[in-house]
Amino acid sequence: MRETPVPDLTYPPLTVAGLSEAELLERIFPRLNRGPETNDSLLLGPGDDAAIVAVPDGRVVLSIDTQVADQDFRLEWNNGYRSTGYDVGWKAAAQNLSDINAMGAHATSLVVSLTMPPETRVAWVEDFADGLTAGIRELGATQCSVAGGDLGRGSELAVSVAILGTLDGRAAVLRSGARPGDTVALAGTVGRAAAGLALLESGPNVSTLTREQRGLMDTQCRPQPPLAAGPLACEAGATAMMDISDGLVRDGNRLAAASHAVLNLDPAALRQLAEPLKPASVLLGADAMAWVLGGGEDHGLLATFAAGRPLPAGFTAIGSVEAPASTDGAGVTIAGRRAESGGWDHFAN
């Protein structure tokens, strides 16, 4: 659990412009890598020109993801909630750990770059470091350390994380291996982060929200990707896998296209996924099914498994893989009918 943050009582509040880079780093370093675990692969951590990591498997899984203020989060949302540094640090960890999870791997280290306007409070940056550390630990990525990073000044607050992972000798699970007859399965949630985003953007004031509604907001601000499920799916012989960051149908279309297949989803399974989102959808006059089909950022896993195989822990069947009727017929269908895409596109949305 999160420790109660020490309030910043200085007035005016200390901002990053009031410290040197070295002084700011001195405040960040002790907040990183605080777990009891030791990471054998980190040979040299923060403090030199670059970090050094061992790659015992001979291969490294590598990804990068960026969050920019007002594109991926807001410091102040329309419902009055203020994203804490802790939220943004947690989400930076979660969305990057998720891409490693989606290959069937586990994360070993990451580097983080923070671009900040000069008026950013030092307390916010410290909270960011705490959130990053807590996200890694509490999501279960106990072998992942923060190997280093970068600080810079800019007009927008932006956070980039590049992350490394290992497959421990296994073959990765790609998007391209789904075959007709396979079961389509989901681990983690879909639609919760989108419902949370709708509450943050247009919902009633944050102070009036119920526990359930706060929980949806929390999924948007501090997502909980199912990190045990990726390596488990890999070991269980998943034929294809990806994480859902942009929406079930949009991402499902990507997996389907890579596999030259149709993912035919079961409407009853989709209705079950929508059911817990109903109260929030009624409150906002929104469509719970649209959140299930189009909502990104829960970072659940979409995977396919050979028919008849028991699904690994955490996965539920939501459909089956079929052969496309024509060469350009790959995509997602619901009970045989082509699904509308929706979902997130940075340049179209």
Ligand X SMILES: Cc1ncc(C[n+]2csc(CCOP(=O)(O)OP(=O)(O)O)c2C)c(N)n1
Ligand Y SMILES: Nc1ncnc2c1ncn2[C@@H]1O[C@H](COP(=O)(O)OP(=O)(O)O)[C@@H](O)[C@H]1O
Residue positions forming the annotated binding site: 49, 63, 65, 72, 99, 149-150, 175, 243, 245-246, 297, 344
Stretch near ligand X under the rule CB under 6 A, chosen from 44-52, 67-75, 142-150, 267-275? 67-75
Please give the structure tokens belonging to residue 276. 């817990």
Residue 97 Cβ vs ligand X, minimum distance, rounded to whole Å? 11
75 burial class (0-12, 13-18, 19+ CB within 10 angstroms)? middle
Residue from 126, 246, 298, 322 touching ligand X (CB under 6 A): that is 246
99 near Mg ion (CB under 5 A) = yes
Give min distance, CB of 162 to ligand Y, in A: 11
User: Within 13 Å, how many C-alpha atoms sit on residue 294's CB side?
Assistant: 17
- Our finding on whether 296 is near ligand X (CB under 6 A) is yes
Pick between residue 147 and residue 248 the one whose CB is nearest to ligand X.
Answer: 248
Q: Closer to ligand X at the Cβ: 86 or 305?
A: 86
Interface residue list for ligand Y (CB under 6 A): 65, 99, 245
Helix 85-101 vs helix 122-138: angle between axes, to the nearest 10 degrees? 30
66, with CB counted inside 10 A (0-12, 13-18, 19+), is middle
Nearer of residues 182 and 246 to ligand X, judged by Cβ:
246
Residue that the structure tokens 């290959």 belong to:
103
- Say how far apart CA 227 and CA 107 lie, in whole Å: 10
- 310 secondary structure, DSSP code: P
- The backbone region for 324, taken as left when phi is positive above 0, alpha when psi lies in -120 to 50, beta otherwise, is beta
Q: Is 344 in the site for ligand X (CB under 6 A)?
A: yes
In whole angstroms, give the CA distance from residue 54 to residue 61: 13
Beta strand 240-243 pairing with 301-305: antiparallel
Between residues 60 and 158, which has the closer beta carbon with respect to ligand X?
158
User: Taking the complex as a whole, how short is the minimal distance between the CB of residue 91 and ligand X, in angstroms?
Assistant: 9
The site partner of 138 among Mg ion, ligand X, ligand Y, none (C-beta below 5 to 8 Å per kind) is none
Site for ligand X, residues 74 to 133, rule: CB under 6 A: 74, 95
- Residue number, 146 or 244, with CB nearest to ligand X: 244
Pick one of 41, 45, 46, 65: the residue that binds ligand X (CB under 6 A): 65
**In the block, which residue shows the tokens 């890598």?**
33
CB of 99 to ligand Y, least distance (A): 5
**Site for ligand X contains 297 (CB under 6 A):** yes
DSSP state of 35: S
Please state, in angstroms and rounded to a whole number, the distance separating the CA atoms of residues 68 and 91.
12
Chain positions 23 to 62 lying near ligand X, rule: CB under 6 A, are: none
End-to-end CA distance of the chain: 35
DSSP 78: T
Residue 73 interacts, among ligand Y, ligand X, Mg ion, none and using kind-specific CB cut-offs from 5 to 8 Å, with: ligand X
Which residues are part of a known binding site for Mg(2+)?
49, 63, 65, 99, 150, 243, 246
Q: How far is CA 265 from the centre of its chain?
A: 23
Residue 335, helix vs strand vs coil: coil
Q: In angstroms, what is the minimal distance from the CB of 6 to ligand X?
A: 28
* Smaller CB separation from Mg ion, 99 or 297: 99
126 binds, among Mg ion, ligand X, ligand Y, none (CB under 5 to 8 A by kind): none
Asked if 165 interacts with ligand X (CB under 6 A), we say no
Which tokens go with 173? 């699970």
Name the site residues for ligand X (rule: CB under 6 A): 65, 70, 72-74, 95, 197, 245-246, 296-297, 344, 346
